[in-house]
Every structure is written in structure tokens, then in C-alpha cells.
């Protein structure tokens, strides 16, 4: 028998409810929306709003949305959990010398618990790879917070991979495959999750990285500027978020007579509520009502190309750890 590998790779994602029920969705949202990296408002104001308005009002409707995308079967669950788990298995097959595990920033399997377990098992060389191609203080920095709170181990956290050549090529290939056989003068819309504009003014590099990713993918596809656009989705709350919004962009494309739109979401490593329900169900329906036809291009998910890209990025980063 060979000795247990001493190096671990943790694929960290956002997290998702365990079940598409109002109670479980409230539990998930409560943990997520108590994170100061996500909502920085003073707790005196935020907690009453969260506990007495947002959680009671949002639990039921959001649970219905999860139910509409839930994956059935033994290996089923919330798409974000299912694809992250499958991706971790596929990356493990690419990296037999490294222990590959998945973890979630909110809910289960908790990032803090996974790191504590690896520490207990004697893994000293640990790379945490947040499954966020672009860095944001709302997502990646929150994972850095958890890693920094560990006592005895200092896991390294990858900042971003928004211009990684292998990742850009894999996303471009998936878009090419998603457009195969489709005719017409097609438009490509890149839709990224939004964040509040205030954070960009405070130095968050997210928007700049989204723009750079989109331009690099469009370039790899040989697109001219008029053939693609970039927008931001999933606005939450009343504050001004970065734009233009995906919904408004689709409306204006329809108004301009652009009928065939492919939508890709290169800010999401795997499909989830925000891509499957918001884009591929709700906004696709709205766009059809405006006379257009949307073709949603799935995320890289657990594809062999994605597993190879993640393994390559991880190997390079691990080489930099002593």
C-alpha cells in the first residue's frame, strides 16, 4: 500500500440548500446573508430586516425556484452541489497524487469543517481553489477569511483564473459547441453575477476581471465587437448594482430586432439557481415573449475539459507552495 498523499486540493464553491424546502432555503440564506463580506450593513439595521422581512418572504418563493431545477436520483440534489461534487471526482481522476475534496462556503460540506478534517488527517500542503474565475470581495475574499481563521495550517487560496489560457479556451470551445448547427446572425451575451457598484468604487477588481474574461473569450471565438455584449444578473436589494442588467440587455436586443441570442455565464463554474432558473427558464421565457429565441449555453460543469483546466491550474499553483 502506498502512503497517503500529503497534499490536498479543496474545490470551494458558494453553497446551496440541502433540500428545496422553505425551511432549508431560509437556513441557507440566513448563513449566506449573515456574512459581512456579502452584506456589510450594520447588524442593528440588517438583522431585523433579514429575520423579519427577507427570510420569511423569500423562503417559499425561492424554494419553488430550487424545486424547478432540482436534479433527481441517488446522485441528485441542488445542481450547484451535484456538479461541484462530480467536478471534484473528475479532478481527482486527473490528480491521483493529490487528495481532492469539495467544500462549500455556506452550508455543507462546510469549508471550515473540511479544512479542520484535512488538518486532523495531517495534510500540511493545502490549496483552496475557489470555483470563482473572477475575484470578488463578496465571494473569494470570504473564502480567504475562512482559510485565514485556521490555527495550525495556512492553506493557500487561489485568487482567480479569469485570464487563464486553458480556461478561456475551454469556455470558448463550449460556446462553439453550444452554437453548432444553429443558423442565423447570432448574438452572444455574456452574463455575470452582479455586485453592488459601491464595492467597485472601493477597489473590488470583479467588474474589470469580468470584462477581461469576456473580451478574451470573444477574441478566442473570433467575434467582432458588435457580435457580443456583456451584462450582469441576479441583482439583490435596493442598492445600485453594476450594469447593464442582463434582463434590460435582452429587452433592448429584442427591441433592436436581434432574435437569436446565445447566453453564456463564464462567471459560474457550474450551473446553479442563477443560471438554470433565472437565465435558462425565466429570462428565456421573457425573451421569447418579446419575439426572440434564447439558446442557453451550459457552464463547464463536470466536463472532462473543465476537470483538466482545474487540475492544470491547481498543479501550477501547488508548485508555488513550498
Ligand X SMILES: C=CC1=C(C)c2cc3[nH]c(cc4nc(cc5[nH]c(cc1n2)c(C)c5CCC(=O)O)C(CCC(=O)O)=C4C)c(C)c3C=C
Beta partners for residue 294, in sequence order: 261
Strands 187-193 and 228-233: parallel
Q: Which letter does DSSP use for residue 130 in this model?
A: E
Does residue 139 belong to the site contacting ligand X (CB under 6 A)?
yes
Does residue 267 belong to the site contacting ligand X (CB under 6 A)?
yes
Least distance (Å) between residue 125 CB and ligand X: 27
Least distance (Å) between residue 319 CB and ligand X: 27
Q: Which of residues 27-86 bind ligand X (CB under 6 A)?
A: 29, 38-39, 58, 62, 78, 80
Residue 30 · residue 13 · CB < 8 Å: no
Binding site partner of 139, from Fe ion, ligand X, none, Cβ cut-off 5-8 A by kind? ligand X
Task: Please give the full DSSP string across 179-248, using - where no structure is assigned.
Answer: HTT--SS-EEEEEEE--BHHHHHTT--HHHHHHHHHHHHHHHTT--GGGEEEEEE---SSSPBSSSBHHH
Least distance (Å) between residue 254 CB and ligand X: 24
Binding site partner of 16, from ligand X, Fe ion, none, Cβ cut-off 5-8 A by kind? ligand X
Q: Which residues contact 2 (CB under 8 A, 6 or more apart)?
A: none
Helices and strands: H and E segment counts in the chain: 12, 8
Q: Which residues contact 131 (CB under 8 A, 6 or more apart)?
A: 11, 12, 13, 84, 87, 269, 270
Binding site partner of 263, from ligand X, Fe ion, none, Cβ cut-off 5-8 A by kind? none
Q: Which of residues 32-51 bind Fe ion (CB under 5 A)?
A: 47
In the list 26, 86, 193, 306, the residue contacting ligand X (rule: CB under 6 A) is: 193
Residues 43 and 19: their CA atoms lie apart, in Å, by: 28
Residues 264 and 65: their CA atoms lie apart, in Å, by: 20
Does residue 236 belong to the site contacting ligand X (CB under 6 A)?
yes
Which of 138, 229 has the CB closer to ligand X? 138
Least distance (Å) between residue 145 CB and ligand X: 15
The reply, when asked if residue 274 is annotated as ligand binding, is yes
Least distance (Å) between residue 184 CB and Fe ion: 32
Which of 162, 187 has the CB closer to ligand X? 162
Does residue 265 belong to the site contacting ligand X (CB under 6 A)?
no
Which of 146, 258 has the CB closer to ligand X? 146
Stretch that binds ligand X, among 145-153, 156-164, 230-238, 304-312 (CB under 6 A): 230-238
Which of 78, 249 has the CB closer to ligand X? 78
Helix or strand or coil: residue 104? strand
Q: Measured on CA atoms in the order 116, 82, 172, 282, is the torsion positive or negative?
A: negative
Residues 48-57 as b or e (16 or more Cβ within 10 Å = b): eebeeebbee
The annotated binding site for Fe(2+) is made up of 193, 274
The annotated binding site is made up of 193, 274
Contacting positions for Fe ion (CB under 5 A): 47
Amino acid at each position: 500500500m502506498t502512503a497517503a498523499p500529503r497534499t490536498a486540493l479543496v474545490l470551494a464553491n458558494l453553497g446551496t440548500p440541502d433540500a428545496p424546502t422553505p425551511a432549508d432555503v431560509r437556513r441557507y440564506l440566513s448563513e449566506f446573508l449573515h456574512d459581512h463580506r456579502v452584506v456589510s450593513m450594520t447588524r442593528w439595521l440588517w438583522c431585523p430586516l433579514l429575520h423579519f422581512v427577507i427570510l420569511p418572504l423569500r423562503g417559499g418563493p425561492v424554494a419553488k425556484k430550487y424545486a424547478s431545477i432540482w436534479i433527481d436520483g441517488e446522485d441528485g440534489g441542488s445542481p450547484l452541489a451535484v456538479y461541484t461534487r462530480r467536478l471534484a471526482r473528475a479532478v481527482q481522476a486527473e490528480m491521483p497524487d493529490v487528495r481532492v475534496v469539495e467544500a462549500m462556503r455556506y452550508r455543507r460540506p462546510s469549508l471550515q469543517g473540511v479544512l479542520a478534517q484535512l488538518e486532523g488527517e495531517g495534510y500540511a500542503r493545502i490549496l483552496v481553489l475557489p470555483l470563482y474565475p473572477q475575484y470578488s470581495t463578496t465571494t473569494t475574499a470570504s473564502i480567504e477569511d475562512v482559510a485565514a481563521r485556521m490555527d495550525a495550517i495556512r492553506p493557500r487560496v487561489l485568487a482567480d483564473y479569469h485570464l487563464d489560457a486553458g480556461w478561456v479556451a475551454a469556455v470558448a470551445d463550449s460556446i462553439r459547441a453550444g452554437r453548432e448547427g444553429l443558423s442565423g446572425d447570432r448574438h452572444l451575451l455574456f452574463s455575470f453575477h452582479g455586485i453592488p457598484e459601491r464595492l467597485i468604487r472601493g477597489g473590488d477588481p470583479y467588474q474589470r476581471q469580468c470584462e477581461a474574461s469576456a473580451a478574451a473569450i470573444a477574441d478566442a471565438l473570433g467575434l467582432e465587437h458588435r457580435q457580443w455584449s456583456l451584462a450582469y444578473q441576479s441583482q439583490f436589494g435596493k442598492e445600485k448594482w453594476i450594469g447593464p442588467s442582463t434582463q434590460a440587455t435582452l429587452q433592448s436586443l429584442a427591441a433592436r430586432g436581434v432574435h437569436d441570442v446565445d447566453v453564456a455565464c463564464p462567471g459560474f463554474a457550474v450551473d446553479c439557481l442563477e443560471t438554470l432558473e433565472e437565465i435558462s427558464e425565466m429570462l428565456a421565457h421573457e425573451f421569447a415573449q418579446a419575439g426572440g429565441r434564447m439558446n442557453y449555453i451550459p457552464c463547464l460543469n463536470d466536463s472532462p475539459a473543465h476537470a483538466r483546466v482545474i487540475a492544470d491550474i491547481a498543479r501550477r499553483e501547488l508548485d508555488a507552495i513550498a
